[in-house]
Structure 1
Amino acid sequence: MFLIRFMYEIIANERTQQEAFEIAKSIDDETSMYQLYFA
């Protein structure tokens, strides 16, 4: 669910990766531990 929401925010709502990550991370308590790494 996290990845679907993350990609949806980037593609459909034209958000940055950081913005999409924060939105997707806020879905529930379990995803709040996710971290974003840029290569």
Structure 2
Amino acid sequence: MLRRKITKILSETKAEVRRIARLEGAINSVSNLLGVFVAS
């Protein structure tokens, strides 16, 4: 029972981390684009 709960928490955490990483990647690419616009 406890093991199943831990596994569930771990998989949810992994999904959350992946989502945050994707979000940071999007923010990085947007700021890179803005940097290109400002530089030109």
- Normalised TM-score (structure 2): 0.28
Larger radius of gyration: 2
RCO comparison, higher one (Cα < 8 Å, 6+): 1
Structure 1 length-normalised TM: 0.29
